[in-house]
């Protein structure tokens, strides 16, 4: 059974032989892809480039956005490791992860319930636009800070080596990249979905975080 020692997870028996790289990649890719579903400026830029039949610009946009997400996730992992080095945090890691995830879920759900204008100005650029929009994304750092803390608290990921860490970060970048390229190539269908189900799309990441938070809370209560 995994146990926490400082900010590193140690495993015994069969756990020590687990290949964490594919698991790290799976969780980061999945949460990156689903976390990017919310219709935002970057997503709408990819849709517009798809409608304008500019696939090359869409690929550059996705590449730039993925690169920025990689950087933000790396900073979040480092910051999370610093925070969780505290003995108080280590002792209550499960509970803290549950509270953080539930809070992020409620904040995301609240933001999704507020009406927003479906307008944006688009310019003939790809990579630069992706960089700017990615850097200006205010939710990337707190999202990956909360997700990293949660996944580690459940012993679902292991980031003790450079290979494991960058496998995790590769999943983060590729998740965003895949989502943006997909919406660009499926632009016509995506526009229809956004117009009719925008409210639901905005709430999907919130529902996922609330579900993960409740799972962690139940697990904490059962094992308390």
Please report the pLDDT score of residue 80 as a whole number.
Answer: 84
Please report the pLDDT score of residue 112 as a whole number.
Answer: 56
Please report the pLDDT score of residue 169 as a whole number.
Answer: 97
The distance from CA 83 to its chain's CA centroid, rounded to whole angstroms, is: 19
User: Could you tell me the two tokens for 172?
Assistant: 């983060």
Look-up of token digits 């983060």: 172
- Cα separations (Å) of 206 from 5, 47, 71, 101, 199? 31, 22, 23, 9, 12
Q: Tell me the C-alpha distance between 47 and 56, whole Å.
A: 13
Please report the pLDDT score of residue 181 as a whole number.
Answer: 93
Please report the pLDDT score of residue 66 as a whole number.
Answer: 94
The tens-digit pLDDT sequence of the chain (224 residues) is 344 444 444 444 444 455 789 999 999 999 999 888 776 778 878 888 888 888 889 999 999 999 999 999 999 999 888 776 776 666 676 677 777 777 767 766 666 555 444 334 444 567 887 888 788 776 788 889 889 988 988 889 999 999 999 999 999 999 999 999 998 888 877 776 666 666 666 676 777 778 888 887 887 787 76
Q: DSSP class of residue 116?
A: -
150, burial (CB in 10 Å: exposed 0-12, middle 13-18, buried 19+): buried
Please report the pLDDT score of residue 223 as a whole number.
Answer: 72
């Amino acid at each position: 059974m995994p146990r926490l020692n400082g900010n590193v997870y140690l495993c015994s028996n069969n756990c020590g032989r687990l290949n964490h790289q594919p698991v790290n990649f799976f969780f980061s890719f999945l949460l990156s892809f689903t976390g990017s579903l919310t219709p935002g400026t970057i997503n709408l830029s990819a849709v517009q480039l798809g409608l304008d039949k500019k696939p090359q610009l869409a690929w550059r946009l996705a590449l730039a956005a993925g690169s920025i997400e990689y950087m933000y996730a790396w900073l979040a992992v480092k910051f999370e490791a610093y925070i969780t080095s505290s003995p108080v945090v280590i002792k209550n890691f499960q509970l803290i992860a549950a509270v953080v995830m539930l809070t992020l879920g409620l904040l995301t759900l609240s933001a999704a319930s507020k009406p927003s204008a479906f307008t944006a100005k688009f310019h003939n650029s790809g990579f630069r636009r992706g960089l700017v929009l990615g850097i200006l994304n205010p939710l990337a750092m707190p999202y990956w800070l909360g997700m990293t803390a949660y996944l580690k608290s459940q012993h679902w990921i292991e980031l003790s080596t450079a290979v494991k860490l960058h496998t995790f970060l590769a999943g983060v970048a590729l998740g965003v990249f895949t989502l943006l390229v997909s919406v660009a190539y499926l632009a016509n269908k995506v526009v229809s979905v956004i117009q009719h189900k925008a409210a639901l799309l905005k709430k999907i990441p919130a529902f996922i975080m609330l579900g993960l938070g409740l799972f962690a809370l139940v697990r904490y209560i059962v094992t308390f």
